Every structure is written in structure tokens, then in C-alpha cells.
């Protein structure tokens, strides 16, 4: 796994695409893992290495949102605690379970989420203050804990899970849900990265170079999100969901 000029260029260019996609929606991790494994990094190590770029990518996006005073840190904290705890559990059990069940769950959530965005767009553009102002319930703590487990375990597609819960359960529009999503990912990924690193499942050189591209992509996406708002994000997410659905069907066909 030696770095060459070709691999450096590929890592940075793919990082830009991944950073853009992940900041606005999710699913870019599939590209990252594919690139890492193409260069000979084992799947488990690729899963850990990918988290380096995710940390830098979300740090860039969150910094941009914070500078524009778009982050309500007090509202985010109740979600952050259970998701961090869940990510620690998820990272610890990596390798003990089959990815197939997570693929089924991911497919169902993404498809239902996409259908809802097409046929009921208002809930993604306008906030429901009756939900956003409601106190965090025990059920919500449980939901965010298991989202953390998934994120710590696989992370692929976590953005769609978070957006779905933040919009449909917590009442945020897509812009604010997307901002909170980036903050929550930034909260938990460093902890799961630490666990992967302790077990020697991180390739730092590839991860740090990939992160350069992720930072660029995340900054571009954050600027567009702030400028264009929730309606713009909705259209981008719908396009990305269509792409993800084709990817999922491709995986199913390969398993038949």
C-alpha cells in the first residue's frame, strides 16, 4: 500500500466528491471504501481509515455553519450523548455481524425516505415547531443510541438515517436537519476512529490524504446549503437517493 502520485490524485479527487455528498446528504462512504479497497486496503481497515476523512470533512462543514450562526448547540447536546455512546458499542462489535442485514435495513429506510420526500415535500422544507421545541423523550435517546451503534459499526448511509429521524421525528427542515447531522457525526466519529486505531485498523497516510479532498468538498457543500436552503438540499438528496437505490439493487443482484 505505497502512495504514488496517481493514488494521491485519486484520493484527493474522490475525497472532494465524497465530502460534497456526505455534507449534503450521505452515502459517499461507499465511494471512499471502494477507493481504499482498490488500492489494496482490507475492508476492515478501509472502514477505519475512512473515519479520518469523515472527521476532517465534518469539522470543515460544522465550522462553516458555526460561523454563520446556524448551530443551536443546546438542542444538539441531548442527541449527541446517546449517539456517542452507541458509536462506541458499534465500533467495539465490528466484525461480529454480517453486513447483509444492515443492507436490508438501509435499503428500506432510503427507499421510504425518498418516497416521502417526493410525495410530501413540505415536511422537509418547513419546520414543525411543535416537534422541534418538544423535550427529548426516552424513545429519542434510544433511537439516537442505535443510530450511533450503526454509525460506529458501518457508518455507510448514516446521513440518510439521521436526516430521516431529524425531519420526521424531530420536525426540522432539511437545512437544519443537515446541519445537526454534520454536528452529530463530528461528535461520534472521533471515538469510533480511536477504537479502530487501537486495534490497528487504520491506514493513516491514505486517510489523511483523502481528507484533503473531503475538506474541499465539505466547504463547497456547506456554502451551497447555506445559500440555497432546504429546497435545494431536497433536490440534491432525491438525486443521491436514486443513485443509492441503484447501488443497493446492484448489491442484491450480486448476492443472488
Q: Hey, where are the domains in the chain?
A: 5-255
Q: What is the pLDDT of residue 181?
A: 93
Q: What is the pLDDT of residue 175?
A: 85
Whether residue 194 is predicted with pLDDT greater than 60 in this model: the reply is yes
Q: What is the pLDDT of residue 247?
A: 62
3-state SS string over the chain?
CCCCHHHHHHHHHHHHHHHHHHHHCCCCHHHHHHHHHHCCCCHHHHHHHHHHHHHHHHHHHHHHHHHCCCCCHHHHHHHHHHHHHHHHHHHHCCCCCCHHHHHHHHHHHHHHHHHHHHHCCHHHHCCCHHHHCCCCCHHHHHHHHHHHHHHHHCCCCHHHHHHHHHHHCCCCCHHHHHHHHHHHHHHHHHHHHHHHHHCCCCCHHHHHHHHHHHHHHHHHHHHHHHHHCHHHHHHHHHHHHHHHHHHHHHHHHHHC
CA distance 143 to 195: 22
- Mean pLDDT confidence for 229-254: 66
Residue 84 CA, distance from chain mean position: 14
- Mean pLDDT confidence for 28-34: 80
Q: What is the pLDDT of residue 57?
A: 95
Whether residue 191 is predicted with pLDDT greater than 90 in this model: the reply is yes
Burial class (CB in 10 A: 0-12, 13-18, 19+), 233: buried
Whether residue 97 is predicted with pLDDT greater than 80 in this model: the reply is no
Rg of the chain over Cα atoms, rounded to whole angstroms, equals 17
Whether residue 178 is predicted with pLDDT greater than 60 in this model: the reply is yes
CA distance 123 to 2: 48
User: What's the number of CA atoms in the CB half-sphere (13 Å) around residue 184?
Assistant: 35
Q: What is the pLDDT of residue 211?
A: 96
**pLDDT confidence bin for 122, thresholds 50/70/90:** low
Least confident of 27-36, 68-77, 114-123, 165-174: 114-123
- Angle CA(95)–CA(97)–CA(101) in degrees, nearest 5? 135
- Mean pLDDT confidence for 54-72: 93
- Mean pLDDT confidence for 147-155: 87
Whether residue 162 is predicted with pLDDT greater than 70 in this model: the reply is yes
Neighbours of 115 (CB within 10 A): 11
Q: What is the pLDDT of residue 82?
A: 95
Closest CA to 144 of 179, 123, 176, 170: 170
pLDDT single digits (tens) 196-233: 999 898 999 999 999 999 999 999 989 988 887 766 66
Amino acid at each position: 500500500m505505497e502512495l504514488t502520485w496517481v493514488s494521491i490524485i485519486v484520493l484527493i479527487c474522490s475525497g472532494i466528491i465524497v465530502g460534497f455528498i456526505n455534507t449534503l446528504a450521505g452515502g459517499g462512504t461507499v465511494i471512499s471504501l471502494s477507493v481504499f479497497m482498490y488500492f489494496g486496503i482490507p475492508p476492515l481497515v478501509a472502514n477505519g481509515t475512512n473515519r479520518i476523512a469523515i472527521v476532517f470533512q465534518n469539522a470543515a462543514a460544522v465550522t462553516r455553519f458555526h460561523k454563520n450562526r446556524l448551530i443551536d448547540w443546546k438542542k444538539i447536546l441531548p442527541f449527541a450523548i446517546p449517539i456517542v455512546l452507541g458509536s462506541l458499542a458499534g465500533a467495539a462489535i465490528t466484525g461480529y455481524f454480517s453486513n447483509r442485514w444492515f443492507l436490508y435495513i438501509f435499503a428500506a429506510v432510503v427507499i421510504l425516505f425518498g418516497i416521502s420526500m417526493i410525495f410530501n415535500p413540505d415536511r422537509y422544507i418547513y419546520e414543525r415547531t411543535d416537534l422541534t421545541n418538544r423535550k427529548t423523550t426516552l424513545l429519542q435517546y434510544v433511537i439516537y443510541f442505535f443510530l450511533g451503534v450503526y454509525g460506529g459499526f458501518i457508518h455507510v448511509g448514516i446521513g440518510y438515517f439521521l436526516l430521516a429521524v431529524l425531519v420526521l421525528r424531530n420536525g426540522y427542515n432539511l437545512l437544519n436537519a443537515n446541519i445537526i447531522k454534520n454536528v452529530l457525526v463530528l461528535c461520534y466519529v472521533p471515538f469510533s476512529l480511536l477504537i479502530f486505531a487501537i486495534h490497528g485498523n487504520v491506514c493513516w497516510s491514505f486517510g489523511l490524504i483523502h481528507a484533503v479532498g473531503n475538506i474541499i468538498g465539505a466547504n463547497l457543500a456547506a456554502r451551497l446549503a447555506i445559500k440555497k436552503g432546504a429546497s435545494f438540499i431536497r433536490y440534491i438528496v432525491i438525486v443521491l437517493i436514486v443513485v443509492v437505490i441503484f447501488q443497493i439493487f446492484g448489491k442484491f443482484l450480486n448476492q443472488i
